[in-house]
Structure 1
Amino acid sequence: MAATGTLYIDKKSPIHSLDGSIKLLMLLVWTAVAFMFIDIRVFLALIAGGAFLIRMANITFKEVKPLVVFLLIFTLFNSAFLITITPAYGSELIGQYTPVFNILGRPLTYETLWFAVTLSLKYLSILPITIIFIFTTHPSRFASSLNKIGVSYKIAYAVNIALRYIPDVRDEFVNIMHAQEARGVAFRKGEDSLINRFKNYNTILIPLVLSSLNRVEVVSNAMNLRGFGSEKTRSWYNGKKYGKFDFLAIALLMIGAVAGILINKFYLSGFWYPF
């Protein structure tokens, strides 16, 4: 987490210099292209391209490790759920049936395993651009850029506050957990069974919600005292105009979006299974 109390990491790079609205457009276009395909080759290309952009942004693995670990765990659970519930789904997609072994009395096929890997890589292909958007976009600059493209400054400021308080909520969660541990509530491995440890997280939920509501009330009162929302427009301290690199990024995004649509329509439509 950056010293500003946000997830933004302040560094000098071409990616950091991009306007926040451009990076939002990058996220939307990248995600749309990823969801056009069910082809592992496309996802590997997106992951490689995303890794290059992350390197360009000078972001290290240590700085983004929690987000990466969370998404890896999510994809593993998603794949395990898919394989358990629909072990022959991949075979139904391509009309080819190659059984491996039985799961809950139903045969699991190679085609379903390939589909599960493909689906996991689809989610992972969105991870690099998500990292870039979250960790290279300053909340205040992003709010001003949203307002610049026509979004109401009230909505833009709400987005700004949400991005700023995500780390605070995380820190509050950790503080409450430590307070509960001091009272003898078990959260760590070896202290209690897995089921009981999951149940113990309920002791964090209510204090966290109450703390968040109290934080919302404090911020709301402070904004009301300053007359927020009384004017139709407002100025931005962090506002800036689009630069040459922003226009270059827009052009590349348009080319990428058109290329994705054409490739999906004429070359790589449907689920790709090489065997």
Structure 2
Amino acid sequence: MSKGGGIYVAGDSWVHRLDGAVKLILWLIWTVVVFMFLDLRLFAVMIAIGVALLWSARIPLRKMAFLFWFLIFFTFTNAIFILLITPTFGTTLTGTNTPLIPLGYNTINKETLFYVLTLSAKYITLLPLTLVFILTTHPSRFAASLNKVGVPYKIAYAVSIAFRYIPDLTQEFKHILNSLSARGLGITKEDGTIAQRMKNLTLVVVPLLQSSLHHIDAVSNAMDLRGFGAHPKRTWYMGMKMSSVDKTVLLFILLLLALAIYLKVSVLKGFWYPL
């Protein structure tokens, strides 16, 4: 397993010290709230709160780079497809049509452009809390927290192992890809056409799958030898009691959910379009 506890980034911030189950509940409710609304004003406030939490965790930028650029790429691609396939979709939400960018077969209107901006902000709003949850939660501590709130310890331990092995699989993928590149089967521009490079990339799947199965078998045997699952309950080396900060954050989460429900029912009922 990864020496550093998987993708976990060690630290001593108050975010790192939060109970893993509390962070999971925060992330889940945050996600629910985000998908309840289509309001750019609300997303701007939530992004600011999320960035503040992420900044307080003091996570190095290089640790966040991959997930950040992946989400940006996904958001940009999604926006382009919406604008090209449904250039007047915003009209169905606002009832108005303000032509803006001619495409030949249709015209992108201002309403759709604002809708795409709002939708992109929705996805970006999820990023800070997702990074906080993934990068500041130690797998073993998280498993102990899940077990503490009622999740069976076998499932909790499976989640812990999954978190730990993500970086190992990434490293194994790089090793296999380097081996194939040494044999002239790389995926760079110098290795052929796009079709050939995609074919070379598929050659990674079989050895990566074999390596993963080998790891699974080794871990399963080691756990069986240690009597894992023989008892209905187990103790946790990294188990912790909820602190006053954990309880305060949990209260904040419940207030956030209550406020979101009130806003959805009484104030921000639909798509917000100011223009």
TM-score over 0.5 for the alignment? yes
Q: Distance in 2 between matches of 1:4 and 1:191?
A: 35
Q: Is 1:65 aligned to residue 65 of structure 2?
A: yes
Shift of residue 191, structure 1, vs aligned partner? 4.0
Partner of 2:258: 258
Q: Which moved more, 1:13-22 or 1:71-80?
A: 71-80
- In 2 relative to 1, CA 244–224 (structure 1 residues): closer, same or farther, beyond 3 Å? same
Is the CA contact 1:99–1:109 (under 8 Å) kept in the aligned structure 2? yes
Q: Is 1:186 aligned to residue 186 of structure 2?
A: yes
Q: Distance in 2 between matches of 1:104 and 1:209?
A: 47
Q: Is 1:27 aligned to residue 27 of structure 2?
A: yes
Shift of residue 42, structure 1, vs aligned partner? 1.1
Partner of 2:147: 147
Is the CA contact 1:5–1:167 (under 8 Å) kept in the aligned structure 2? no
Shift of residue 229, structure 1, vs aligned partner? 0.8
- In 2 relative to 1, CA 119–246 (structure 1 residues): closer, same or farther, beyond 3 Å? same
2:46 partner SS: helix
Shift of residue 201, structure 1, vs aligned partner? 1.2
Letter in 1 for 2:54: I
Q: Distance in 1 between matches of 2:126 and 2:87?
A: 25
Shift of residue 5, structure 1, vs aligned partner? 4.5
Q: Is 1:118 aligned to residue 123 of structure 2?
A: no
Q: Which moved more, 1:147-156 or 1:78-87?
A: 78-87
Q: Distance in 1 between matches of 2:255 and 2:37?
A: 17
2:108 partner SS: strand
Partner of 1:206: 206
CA shift digits 1:45-87 (9 cap, x unpaired): 1111111001111113222111101111111111112222211
Moved runs in structure 1, 4+ residues, more than 4 A?
none
Shift of residue 190, structure 1, vs aligned partner? 4.7
Partner of 1:232: 232
1:273 partner SS: coil
Is the CA contact 2:98–2:109 (under 8 Å) kept in the aligned structure 1? yes
Is the CA contact 2:18–2:246 (under 8 Å) kept in the aligned structure 1? yes
Is the CA contact 1:87–1:109 (under 8 Å) kept in the aligned structure 2? yes
1:101 partner SS: strand
Q: Is 1:79 aligned to residue 82 of structure 2?
A: no
1:10 partner SS: coil
Is the CA contact 1:5–1:168 (under 8 Å) kept in the aligned structure 2? no
What runs of 5+ residues in structure 1 fail to find an aligned partner? Answer: none
Task: State the TM-score, normalizing by the size of structure 1.
Answer: 0.95
Letter in 1 for 2:218: V
**Among the aligned pairs, what percent are the same residue?**
43
Q: Is 1:135 aligned to residue 135 of structure 2?
A: yes
Is the CA contact 2:5–2:139 (under 8 Å) kept in the aligned structure 1? no
Shift of residue 144, structure 1, vs aligned partner? 0.4
Q: Which moved more, 1:132-141 or 1:211-220?
A: 211-220
Shift of residue 102, structure 1, vs aligned partner? 3.9
Q: Is 1:163 aligned to residue 196 of structure 2?
A: no
CA shift digits 1:134-153 (9 cap, x unpaired): 00000000000000001000
Q: Distance in 1 between matches of 2:41 and 2:227?
A: 53
Q: Distance in 2 between matches of 1:29 and 1:259?
A: 12
Is the CA contact 1:31–1:126 (under 8 Å) kept in the aligned structure 2? yes
Task: State the TM-score, normalizing by the size of structure 2.
Answer: 0.95
Is the CA contact 2:18–2:245 (under 8 Å) kept in the aligned structure 1? yes
CA shift digits 1:172-224 (9 cap, x unpaired): 11111111110111312454333432332111112111211111111111111
Q: Distance in 1 between matches of 2:60 and 2:94?
A: 40
Letter in 1 for 2:78: N
What runs of 5+ residues in structure 2 fail to find an aligned partner? Answer: none
